[in-house]
Amino acid sequence: MATTTSPDRVLDLIEAYRRSKTMFTAVELGLFERQPQTDAEHRLADACVSLGLLKRDASGRYINSDDADKYLKRDSPDTMTGYIDYSNRVLYRLWGDLEGAVRENKNRWGTDGILFSNFYATDESMKTFLMGMHGFGRMSSEAVVSAFDLSRFQRLVDLGGGTGHLPMAAKQRYPQLSSAVFDLPRVIGFARTIASDIDFLEGDFFTDPLPQSDLYALGRILHDWSEDKIRALLAKIVAALPKGGGLLVAERLLDDDKGGPITAHMQSLSMLICTEGRERTVAEYESLLRDAGFSSVSAKRTGTPIDAILAVK
C-alpha cells in the first residue's frame, strides 16, 4: 500500500530559523515598545503580525499581542528579553556551526578557556546571560519548588543560583525556609540588584567549601558539565549534607526512550555547542545521584520547560 508523503515538515524546518530571527530582531530594535519608522521596520512589524506577536488597530497602528506585552517588553516583570538577547547575540552564532560541534564533539567557543569565562567575558555579556536565565527561570521555578514537599527542610542554598529566581520561588511557597544563593562574586554583585529577601553568598562550588544547609539546589547546572565534574560536585554535596538532607535538581528531562521531547533534544544540542554537558533521562540522573551516595531519588515532570528531581541522603 502506497504511503502519502508531504514536504510540509521539511519546509517548516527550513524556515523555522527565520521566524525566531524575526522575533529576535524585533526585540533588539525595540518594536514592542514603539511604532516602526521605516519601510524595512514596517515589513518587520508586518512579519510580527503574521507571527501573532503584533496586531494592527483600525488606524493602522501596531499594538502588542498579550504574549508580546508579557514576554517581549523589557519593562515587564515576566520579560523573556534577556533570554532572547542571549539567544540572538550568543547562541545564534554558535548554532551556526553545529556541524563542527558534532564532528569534533566540542563546543564552538573556539577557546580552551574555562567555560563560564566565555559567558562572563564582559559585564554586559554576564548580565545578558544572567537575565536570560532569570526570565527562563521565572517560568519554571515555582513549579520546580512545588514538585515535592520541601516543608521539612530548614535552609535552601542554590548553588550557582544566579539571580535567585529559584530561592525566591521557594521562599514564597515555604515562608519558613531560609534561602540563599551561592555563586561567583561578580554574579552576586549583579544578583543583589535583582533579588531581595534572600541571602547572597560568594564562592565557587567546585573549589570552595559549601555553605551549611540541609537542602541544596542545582538549577540547570549539571547539564553544563562533564560527567567527571558532575561526580566530583555531587560527592562534595553529599559530604556536606546531614543525613536526611536533600538536593533539588532542576533540569530538562529526556524521555526514558530518548524519543523526545523535542525541546530537550534541542537543549542537548545547545549544550553541545556551548558547554561540556548534555541533557539526560531520569535513569541517567538517578545513576549519577545514587553513585554519589543518595539513597532516594524521585523525579517529576512539571509541565514547564524545566523538570525536577529530589535526591535525599
From the list 24, 28, 27, 35, the residue with the least C-alpha distance to 57 is 35
Report the DSSP beta bridge partners of residue 154: none
- Phi first, then psi: give them for residue 235, nearest 5 degrees: -65, -40
Residue 309 phi, psi dihedral angles, 5° rounding: -130, 135
DSSP string, 169-229: HHHHH-TT-EEEEEE-HHHHHHHTTT--SSEEEE--TTTSPPPP-SEEEEES-GGGS-HHH
Nearest to 86 by CA among 14, 17, 46, 134: 134
Both ends of the chain: CA-CA distance in Å? 57
The residue annotated as part of the active site, out of 42, 134, 165, 223, is: 223
- In contact, 279 and 252? CB cutoff 8 Å: yes
For cell 560527567, the residue is 227
- Taking a C-beta distance cutoff of 8 angstroms, is the pair 280, 249 a contact? no
Active site residue 223: yes
Helices vs. strands in the chain: H and E counts, helices first: 13, 11
Residues designated as active site = 223
